[in-house]
Chains A and B, each alone.
Chain A
Amino acid sequence: MYGKRLRGVRAPHRKNTSGCAPARMPAPAAVVIPMMMHIGAPAKPVVAAGDTVKVGQLIAEASGFVSSPVYSGVSGKVKAIDSILLPGGQTSAAIVIESDGEQALRDGLAPPPVSDLKSFLAAVRESGVVGLGGAGFPTAAKLTVELPKIKAVIINGAECEPYITSDTRTMLDQSDLLWEGVLMLKKYLEADRVIIAIENNKPDCIALYEGLARAQDGVEIKTLPSLYPQGGEKVLIYNTTGLVVGEGKLPIDAGALVLNCTTLAAVVRYIKTGMPLVEKCVTVDGSAVANPQNVIVPVGTKLSDLFDFCGGFKSEPKKIMYGGPMMGLALTDLSFPILKTTNAVIALGAKDAIPPKETACIKCGRCIASCPLRLMPANIEQAFRRKNPEELEQLKVNICMECGCCSYICPAKRPLVHVNKLAKIMLRDYQDKNKTAAKKEGTLK
């Protein structure tokens, strides 16, 4: 068997909304749907300004193998195709649709024919589903693997980030879809071993799936400790199966295929109903939100509309972020739209918004003891400040997944994740330079 579980931090849970079945928000006046909501090539618009669209209608097609089509979540009229700034700083084309409020469904919405692996993968591709845990890797591309390589398929229901409960709601409210998905994976991917991994702070989910799995061979429910980041892909794979994903390798190289539970449910929804991914269940929470809750919103809904639906703010918000507080992205304003990958929007009041003052490193080793990937963040920081890329290479900063444990735990409140991100860039530049130098030498010979 394998050794100890990988480490992490006991971040607060703050799962305030786990008991709150999602409310459906009425279609907003307008949605802004970016073409880059996934890793890979941006989707290519197939509608033009002035076109009318309906719910579930294709508005942009995939433009490559690692890409994903985009569908409208509202009915109405395409107003424009704009270029917008995404929260990560990239620019992306975005289709702006004015809603007519009717939410009329596309004509001829019907389940796709699925009978074998090929048609299953085609359906996954058409569904517009990407990794909804946050990474946004097109699911069809992920599932296109040599089947014998698969040792275990892991359904990620860890949901280890504080606040977020949208996966919990998927597991509770869409258990029929999710379970159907497990059976489909067993059938089409010929997976002998499917593991549903859930943190122990969700006992109702664990009980539900243990009940379902009892009558089914080859499906295991693994209860994980509530130790952030159990849901991190490498951590999840190791802690459930003992498989080690090596540096620079994909999970499938180790024999593991991980799918987020909401991702799988969204795929199955398309296969069962023909409705592609056009809406998301989003946890809206944080100290500034008037009525924290889970909300189902069309993809492209602006944050301002979403917060209005949740009763606005009870105190002035000072920090807004996509995703949970451990890895979430802080936003500059409320004009950003909900993406396919958005699972939570957090608004914090003044008291929680400003990072604490940074003091000198006391070399306590907490960052090292808490790093799930056994990196040495304090040493990485020193090497970075000394501008020593060779040292960074030895310390393997490149495998950092930026989970945030080191910064969270640091008693000196040093921004270690930030430094790791910068250190990765320093290392990449150094390696690129070496490569070019080696190439030059090669051509001279």
Chain B
Amino acid sequence: MSSFAVSVSPHIWSKTTTSSIMRDVLIALIPALIASVFIFGTRPLLVTAVCVATAVISEWVFEKATKRPVTISDLSAAVTGTLLAFSLPADIPIWQAVVGAVTAIIVIKQLFGGIGQNFANPAAASRVIMLLAFSGPMTQWRQIDAITGATPLALIKAGDTDLLPSLLDMFLGNRGGCIGEVCVPALIAGGIYLLARRIIQWHTPVVFIATAVVLTALLDAQPLYQLMSGGLLPGAIFMATDYSTTPSTVRGRVIFGFGCGLITVLIRVWGSYPEGVSFSILLMNIITPYISRWTRSRPFGGAKA
């Protein structure tokens, strides 16, 4: 009876924790994973399992080696592994997937100080590195049917718009692409789940996607295909909403989303790569500290300094 805990208020805390947030993100990614099995077979499961396991193990090894507290239970490494796997082709060689996951966790995340400290989204940045390092396998898409081996974006880029799959196939995911990017309803279901659980706010994804669609419409560059192709939906829903690497105010998030949409369209329409989502997120990650500075909230009743 003699010793009471004394701590500074508040004395109650919300149930949301870092790991509950990451668990929700993982739950939101499940529909897209299931869809990928229907579309590409069981290989996506193997790639995802390898990426997640490698990400978690790399984090554990790095933190043990540097004598830091082990943070694998916050599930953020598992999220990074899943997101990376989702942005790889189903037939990526396993060793390359391992290299990608190690790069994401150790180079992009841990060397910058671990969770909350990294400046770039580990999955997006690692995908960009893999695209440069393993350009062949990273752009080799599994054939879904006899006609399409290339992704819709590659077809648009090449001017072969008559070879594009139907919009229904686009929507359902019957076409070439990365593991987790093809099935639109599954991605949207994940996004709605995250919005409903208040894990993300609508601003970044909506502005990102709207910017890309409106700009491609203005440029007459197949806006509906652009919307459903490549990493736009998964990037906007899952990567551009990453906390550490994007602004934390609503105004900042709107600017971030707009920048991502703009850069994506610039690359898709005029760049030499057919796809620009991961580049756009990476570039916007880099200027996030500046956006954050410009978009500080004005304190209530605060006198002008």
Please classify the interface of chain B as helix (H, G, I), strand (E, B), loop, or mixed, using the class held by over half of its residues: loop
Restricting to A1-47, which residues have a CB under 8 Å from any CB of B?
A: 6, 9, 11-12
Which of B3-11, B136-144, B227-235, B262-270 participates in binding chain A? Answer: B3-11
In Å, the complex CA distance between A238 and B17 comes to 31
Mark each residue of chain A from 354 to 366: 1 if its CB lies under 8 Å from any CB of chain B, else 0: 1110011111111
B residues engaging A (CB < 8 A)? 1-2, 4-14, 16-18, 20-21, 71, 74, 76, 114-117, 243-244, 247-250, 296-303, 305
Q: How far apart are A15's CB and chain B's nearest CB, in angstroms?
A: 14
Which of A72-80, A117-125, A322-330 participates in binding chain B? Answer: A322-330
Which of A183-191, A193-201, A391-399 participates in binding chain B? Answer: A391-399
In Å, the complex CA distance between A353 and B7 comes to 9
Q: Which residue of A lies closest to B12 (CB)?
A: A325
A137 CB within 8 Å of chain B: no
Which of A100-108, A145-153, A243-251 participates in binding chain B? Answer: A243-251
| B297 x A368 contact (CB < 8 A) | yes
| A421 x B8 contact (CB < 8 A) | yes
In Å, the complex CA distance between A328 and B10 comes to 7
Q: Which residue of B lies closest to A346 (CB)?
A: B11
Q: Which residue of A lies closest to B252 (CB)?
A: A365
Given A244-B301, A364-B21, A365-B249, the answer on whether A417 and B10 have CB atoms closer than 8 Å is yes
Given A325-B10, A404-B9, the answer on whether A412 and B248 have CB atoms closer than 8 Å is no
Residues of B within 8 A of A332 (CB): 4, 6
Q: Which residue of B lies closest to A419 (CB)?
A: B8
Which of A169-177, A257-265, A313-321 participates in binding chain B? Answer: A313-321
A352 CB within 8 Å of chain B: yes
In Å, the complex CA distance between A355 and B249 comes to 27
Given A247-B302, A411-B21, the answer on whether A363 and B13 have CB atoms closer than 8 Å is no
Residues of B within 8 A of A353 (CB): 4-5
Q: How far apart are A421's CB and chain B's nearest CB, in angstroms?
A: 7
Restricting to A353-394, which residues have a CB under 8 Å from any CB of B?
A: 353-356, 359-366, 368-369, 372-376, 378-379, 393-394
**19 pairs across A/B with beta carbons < 8 Å?**
A234-B300, A244-B300, A248-B303, A316-B1, A319-B5, A321-B11, A325-B10, A325-B11, A332-B4, A355-B13, A360-B71, A360-B115, A362-B243, A362-B244, A363-B244, A374-B298, A407-B10, A411-B21, A417-B8
Residue in contact with A368 in the complex, picked from B6, B9, B21, B248, CB distance below 8 Å: B248
| B4 x A362 contact (CB < 8 A) | no
In Å, the complex CA distance between A413 and B20 comes to 12
| A354 x B5 contact (CB < 8 A) | yes
Residues of A within 8 A of B305 (CB): 393-394
Residues of B within 8 A of A318 (CB): 4-5
Residue in contact with B301 in the complex, picked from A328, A368, A373, A413, CB distance below 8 Å: A373
Given A404-B9, A412-B18, the answer on whether A363 and B301 have CB atoms closer than 8 Å is no
Given A248-B303, A360-B115, A365-B248, the answer on whether A330 and B4 have CB atoms closer than 8 Å is yes
Given A331-B6, A363-B116, A364-B243, the answer on whether A379 and B11 have CB atoms closer than 8 Å is no
Q: How far apart are A137's CB and chain B's nearest CB, in angstroms?
A: 19
| A360 x B4 contact (CB < 8 A) | no
Residue in contact with B71 in the complex, picked from A234, A238, A359, A418, CB distance below 8 Å: A359
Residues of A within 8 A of B301 (CB): 234, 244-247, 249, 373, 399
| B18 x A362 contact (CB < 8 A) | yes
Residues of B within 8 A of A310 (CB): none
3 closest A-B pairs by beta carbon, nearest first, are A365-B248, A404-B10, A396-B299
4 additional A-B residue pairs with CB within 8 Å, beyond A12-B12, A320-B4, A360-B117: A244-B300, A319-B5, A333-B4, A410-B13
| A399 x B302 contact (CB < 8 A) | yes
In Å, the complex CA distance between A91 and B145 comes to 82
Residues of A within 8 A of B10 (CB): 325-327, 404, 407-408, 417
Residues of B within 8 A of A379 (CB): 296
Quick one: which of A245, A361, A421 has the most chain B CB within 10 A? A361
| A328 x B11 contact (CB < 8 A) | yes
